[in-house]
Amino acid sequence: MSEKVISDYNGYDYKTEFWEKTNREYEDQSDRMAIRKLLPKRMDKFADIGGGYGRLAGEYLKRAHKIYIFDYSKTELAQAKEIYGDKIETKAGDIYKLPFKDNELDGLMMVRVTHHLSDMPKAIAELYRVLKPGGVAVIEVANKRTLPKMARYITGKSKVNPFDKKVANYKEISKDGFYNYHPKYVEDIFKKVGFNQERVLSVSNFRSKTLKKVFRTNNLVKMENAAQQILAPVRFAPSIYYKLRKPEK
């Protein structure tokens, strides 16, 4: 990337180490549920930005004629190609300089990527550039304004203020940290870039080790289905999903 790389997954088996060896079935199902609700049912050209090994490909393979998975990690893209073969085309590169032409894509999505972005406005502007007028972008944002983060701040356990719009960089997570965002901050970016905001969902509302021990995954997923729309106005979930549209000319 032209900007600082926060997490380089080249040489790392993200599929196995992060998803298959850990208890993240609830999070995976929550993401899929949101995508099914927000993505258009029919598209010509579609791109999964930061799509890695294609974890979520099952949610869009039948929705688009031409599918690209874009990622910085060639390791993950090789896995995607091995899994999906000719059903997809992979593209490696810099999210701040996407390898697509202006107005090329009918739709795109970007999930579990924003926490790596050191320049959110620049990345969102690139997504806007490559979409056709009328095209849809589904973007997941890592939220700094969650209830646990509020509690930690109020009790003095964290110095990161979840109520202000300043971008949070959590250094304790990794050497370089992960970025989290206030919903109002990203919504201002969407508006400034030119997107129309059509729908918002609150996702992974019950992401908790305690809740996972108490409830079975299928019960959490049922609760999640109802909560995604109901809790959207308060923007308290770890992931906030946006359906955005580039205006017609």
Are residues 70 and 99 in contact, defined by beta-carbon separation less than 8 angstroms?
yes
Beta pairing, strands 239-245 & 196-203 = antiparallel
In a domain? residue 3: no
Q: How confident is the model at residue 246 (pLDDT cuts 50, 70, 90)?
A: very high
> How do 89-92 and 105-110 pair as beta strands?
unpaired
Query: What's the CATH number where 149 sits?
Result: 3.40.50.150
What does the alpha-carbon distance between residue 23 and residue 206 come to, in Å, rounded to a whole number? 13
48 or 177: which carries more pLDDT confidence? Answer: 48
User: Per-residue pLDDT for 54 more than 50?
Assistant: yes
Amino acid 1: pLDDT: 43
Q: Is residue 62 part of a domain?
A: yes
Is residue 196, in this structure, part of any structural domain at all?
yes
The C-alpha atoms of residue 25 and residue 48 are separated, in whole angstroms, by: 20
- Reading the block at residue 187, the tokens are 């919504």
Confidence of residue 3 (pLDDT cuts 50, 70, 90): low
Between the alpha carbon of residue 51 and those of residues 92, 128, 154, 240, the distances in Å are: 11, 18, 36, 17
| Assigned domain for 7 exists | no
d(CA 49, CA 51): 5
In a domain, 190, yes or no: yes
pLDDT surpasses 60 at 152: yes
Q: Which domain holds residue 89?
A: 14-245
Q: What is the pLDDT of residues 65-116, one digit of tens each?
A: 999 999 999 999 999 999 999 999 999 999 999 999 999 999 999 999 999 9
- 154 Cβ contact list (under 8 Å, min separation 6): none
Helix (H, G, I), strand (E, B) or coil at 10: coil
* Domain count along the chain: 1
| Long-range own/partner contacts, residues 213-222 (CB < 8 A, 24 or more apart) | 217/25, 217/26, 217/29, 220/26, 221/26, 221/29, 221/30, 221/33
**Whole-prediction pTM value?**
0.93
Instruction: Please report whether residue 18 resides in a domain.
Output: yes
Give me 171's structure tokens: 């250094």
Closest CA to 193 of 97, 113, 128: 128
Q: Which of 93, 15, 22 is nearest to 57 (CA)?
A: 15
